[in-house]
Chain A
């Protein structure tokens, strides 16, 4: 158990819908990262937050957005869902978000878009 929690574990929804994935980092960690893992693409970095501020952006679609709240939990919002958005979504956390820190991954949310 990494100490990172994610809810829900599974999510089934329809195309065109909007969903919110939630992540709570390990106690004391200030930085949160979101990754998408699909079968054909491997783990793709989406976005990083540090203490409420966006710090780095990866291959995140405009239909997706994220935020980190004052209590440091983070939410990833996916809208206008398409079949291709079906994937595992992982959240990871680290202490400061810089340096050689290890990122610890949560158990993931499995999203299925029908």
Chain B
């Protein structure tokens, strides 16, 4: 089966650091994506991990441990505009040429002044 777990909601303070965790169990795995989604808008790509370790991109970093089925997204120097839903998605690969993404339900982050 396929299961992706993220906390439903988180709150953090402007200027602080927040870590959003994601655990997954999938039949096939070939990469993990993080997307940001503001209410009513399209998801926008943040990061991609396929090998273990940390990928850094400006204020955003993402970490993956394949053996533990675990990833996190780290947001530094939080800004009010970072208030959004953060979606963890696993690329489901079971052979064949497909790029199907399985999404978690998302973590709604509220950044407070």
Contact = CB atoms under 8 A, between A and B. Distances in A.
Interface of A: 2, 4, 31, 33, 35, 41-45, 48, 50, 55-56, 58, 88, 90, 94, 97-108, 110
Given A100-B48, A102-B48, A94 B42 contact: no
Interface of B: 30-31, 33, 35, 40-45, 48, 50, 87, 89, 91, 96-106
Nearest to B35: A105
A1 to B, nearest CB: 10
9 contacts: A4-B42, A43-B89, A45-B102, A48-B99, A50-B97, A100-B50, A102-B33, A105-B42, A108-B40
A2 to B, nearest CB: 6
A45 B100 contact: yes
Given A43-B43, A102-B48, A107-B42, A56 B100 contact: yes
